[in-house]
Amino acid sequence: MNCRGFQNRLDDYLRGRLRGDDLVAARAHVLACPECREVVEILETSAASVQEDPPPGLVRGILERTTGSPCGSAHGRLCDFVDASLDPIEAELVRLHLGECGECGALAGALARLAGELPGLAEIEPPADFVDAVLARTLPWRRRLARRLPRLAEIGERLAARPRLALEGAYAGTLVLVLILGPSTLAEAPEWAARLVAPAAHLGQPSRARDRVASGLRAAWGTTGGRAAGIAAEMQDDLASRFERTQDARADLRRHRDALLEATLDADPSGAARALKAIGNDLGTLSRRIASDNSDEDQDPGR
């Protein structure tokens, strides 16, 4: 039996509760170890007073001889002592030390009080609008957008009320027409008009000129309209086939659009930047697939 094992059984030894091999080993250790023998002698001579009124310096002496500095040893066990998770002998030694060391006693008191008061710091009331702010950020983006629609509508109305809107609309409409019909078709229109009007003007017959203009316009419209319809039909067929090739890229684009909206509504600039970059890539893929005549070319570049 070593010193630690003996100290663990010290209380049983002093109370005569050891039997058999344990008793033999304890006695052998007391005979062999002068320090433990001294502890036993001190405790046996003052056995009656140990429980209630130890002599001054007794516990300090025991701790110094067994486990080093009593305050250091007590500090090492103080938390377990306060948590009542120390074994009984060590708890008794710590209790005795606390009884005679005011600073360690106050520290133990502070630890016990902290154990009761620290959990009270766990909850701090956030500002009153906290829940609404979180709920607003966890709604699906369509609902969040719906909440902002009145504001967007207000911006739209303000834009629509600008005096130059009609001019800008006309400009945009012209651009669309040129894109659909092509510049060459529109370029011929003034010549048709001149051809229609010139003969009638020379003849000085306004009514005939009016009829010719009307029939000419009908013919021009038939030509232009027919050409436009042909172009539109061709474009529609071509676009439909190209559109089919962009299915997966469009799915990516929708996903990244949602991410961009989420990040924008969350005021998350880094997330928005990532989403924008992804959208840029998606648009690149889309444009390549739309521009490409070969449907396999873009889908499998390695081939």
Partner 1 sequence: MRRFQARIYGLAFHYLRDPEESRDMAQEIFVQVYRKLDSFREDENLVPWMLRVGRNMCIDRLRRIKARPPAADVVLDENTELAADEPTPEDAAQAEGLKRLLERALGAMSDKHREVILLKDIQGMKIEEIADLLAEPVGTIKSRSNRARIELAARVRALDPSYGT
Question: Which residues sit at the interface with partner 1, rule CB under 8 A?
Answer: 75-76, 78-80, 106-115, 117-127, 130-131, 133-135, 137-138, 266
Query: Are 107 and 71 within 8 A, CB to CB?
Result: no
Comparing CA positions, the residue from 29, 56, 30 lying closest to residue 44 is: 30
- The residue (of 216 and 271) whose beta carbon lies closer to partner 1 is 271
Compute how many other C-beta atoms are within 10 angstroms of the C-beta atom of residue 250. Answer: 14
Cβ 77 to partner 1 shortest distance, Å: 9
Cβ 58 to partner 1 shortest distance, Å: 24
**Could you tell me which residues come within 8 angstroms of residue 7 by beta carbon, excluding any fewer than 6 positions away?**
36, 66, 89
What is the residue-wise DSSP string for 169-222? HHHHHHHHHHHHH-HHHHHHHHHHHHHHHHHHHHHT-HHHHHHHHHHHHHHHHH
- The residue (of 121 and 166) whose beta carbon lies closer to partner 1 is 121
- The residue (of 117 and 191) whose beta carbon lies closer to partner 1 is 117
| Residue 120: DSSP 8-state | G
Cβ 98 to partner 1 shortest distance, Å: 11
| C-alpha span between 189 and 201 (Å, rounded) | 19
Residue 108 DSSP SS3: helix
- The residue (of 36 and 108) whose beta carbon lies closer to partner 1 is 108
- The residue (of 98 and 200) whose beta carbon lies closer to partner 1 is 98
Cβ 271 to partner 1 shortest distance, Å: 12
Cβ 131 to partner 1 shortest distance, Å: 6
- The residue (of 110 and 251) whose beta carbon lies closer to partner 1 is 110
Structure-token pair, residue 85: 């998770």
What is the residue-wise DSSP string for 134-166? HHHHHS-HHHHHHHHHHHHHHHHHHHHTSTTHH
Cβ 2 to partner 1 shortest distance, Å: 23
- The residue (of 119 and 302) whose beta carbon lies closer to partner 1 is 119
Cβ 79 to partner 1 shortest distance, Å: 4
| C-alpha span between 234 and 202 (Å, rounded) | 42
- The residue (of 96 and 108) whose beta carbon lies closer to partner 1 is 108
| C-alpha span between 251 and 149 (Å, rounded) | 25
Cβ 112 to partner 1 shortest distance, Å: 7
Structure-token pair, residue 253: 């684009």
Comparing CA positions, the residue from 99, 23, 88, 31 lying closest to residue 59 is: 99
